Structure 1
Amino acid sequence: MKGSLIVVGFFALGLLAGRSGCMPTWLMEGDISMVALCALLLFVGIGIGLNPDMKNELKSLSPRLALLPLVTILGSWMGAAVAYLFLGGGICTFLQHRELTDCLAINSGFAYYSLSSIFITEYRGAELGTIALLANIIREMATLLFTPLLARWFGPLAPISSGGATSMDTTLPSITQSIGQRYAPLCIYHGFVTDFTVPFLVTLWCA
């Protein structure tokens, strides 16, 4: 929760700095976002490579539970389609100027707000990148807040899917506290797989 609030604070600070007109023009003309994107991918790889127990944790999983990331991906896309139906398909005009692929790209961030929002900004512009940032932060914060209720109402796998890519890091303590430490390997595996798919799936829908 604290990390998400810090990210939102820096985002608001960036908005204020941009609106103030005091920022140098070379920030907009250069490839700062691409450099930041490459740095993020580098640190994601380092974080995965530094986990010495990843191999043993993956071996301990049930073959049936190994499909959970796929279910999370498909469920997120179904949610995006429903959101587009209500917000852009004629029922509401909020996303009328957007396409279904925009909603699918946003939901393909799986709560990995930093990486997905940079990709979407590069491909579809700052407006959609901002929506992606906020939507994925809200997904992470909702998982942190409502994990006990999700586990009670929908079972132990629900908060793992809700956490998306964050189920292996920021939301892991909250999830394991509610559903038990025995699900920790599944959380890490689920977060690793969904985390890995973010650049490819976001790029797919943006393209």
Structure 2
Amino acid sequence: MKGSLIIVGFFILGILAGNAGFVPQLVKDSNVSFMALCALLFCVGLGIGMNPNMKSDLRSINPRYALLPVVTVLGSWAGAAVVWLVVNRGFADCMALSSGFAYYSLSSIFITEYRGAELGTIALMTNIIREMITLLLSPLLARVFGPLAPITSGGATTMDTTLPIITHTVGERYVALSLYHGFVIDFSVPFLVTMWCMM
């Protein structure tokens, strides 16, 4: 949770700096967010590539659970469709927001690039809230809905920030599944967010 609060702190700091006029015009006119996005994608790929246990972890997963990331995606989209019926937003916007799967740093940059700062800010907050729900409510989710619920709730974060609480809540036997789930969802975020943003 500390990491999420630090991210929110930097986000608020950026808003304050932008409103106060501390940012030079050169930075405003440049493609800083695109360069940050490229650096972020490089770091994600680097982290996945440097994990020496990835192959053995993936082999140990029960084949029945291989479709769990698909369930996460479809469940998130179903929730977004329900929200779309209630809020005054476009269908594609709601779907793009739900396709961040708690990967706030990447999805909010994509959505800001394609749909503007307002929706990008909503994406950031939506995905941070999803991560916070997983961090705070994993025991309750597991008790009410079963051991896979905290994993689907965590989205892309199940291979990093929410992995400790998931492991603590549902046990060591779900570590490989959490890593696999996080990896697949992590990889899908740029494609799914972009797909909905371009509609």
TM-score with structure 2 setting the length: 0.98
Amino acid at match of 2:71: V
Q: Size of the alignment, in residue pairs?
A: 198
| Matched AA of 2:156 | A
Q: Flag as ranges the 4+ runs of structure 1 deviating above 3 A.
A: none
CA distance in 2, matches of 1:22, 1:67: 48
Aligned to 1:19: 19
Residue of 185, 195, 199 corresponding to 2:176: 185
Q: Please give the per-residue CA displacement for 1:91-113, whole angstroms capped at 9, x wherever unaligned.
A: xxxxx2x3111011011010000
- Does residue 6 of the first structure (1) align with residue 6 of the second (2)? yes
Q: SS of 2:66's equivalent?
A: helix
1:131-161 deviation line (CA, Å, top 9, x unaligned): 0000000000110000000000000000000
Query: Is 2:157 aligned against 1:166?
Result: yes
Give ranges in structure 1 of 5+ residues lacking alignment. Answer: 88-95
Aligned to 1:144: 135
Deviation, 1:84, is 1.0
Q: In the TM superposition, what are the counterparts of 1:55-134 in structure 2 within 5 Å?
A: 55-87=55-87, 96=88, 98-134=89-125
Measured in 2, the distance between the counterparts of 1:23 and 1:193 equals: 37
| 1:22 positional shift | 2.6
Aligned-pair distance for 1:64? 1.2
Q: Deviations over 1:37-75 (max 9, x none)?
A: 000000000000111111011111111100000000000
2: CA distance, partners of 1:130 / 1:163:
20
Q: Sequence identity, in percent?
A: 68
1:152, 1:83 → 2: CA distance?
Answer: 25
- Runs (5+) with no aligned partner, structure 2: none
* 2:53 corresponds to: 53
Distance 1:164 1:206 in 2: 19
2:29 is matched by which residue type in structure 1? E
Code of the residue aligned with 1:125 in structure 2: it is: G
Q: What is the letter of the counterpart of residue 9 of structure 2? A: G
CA RMSD, 1 decimal:
0.6
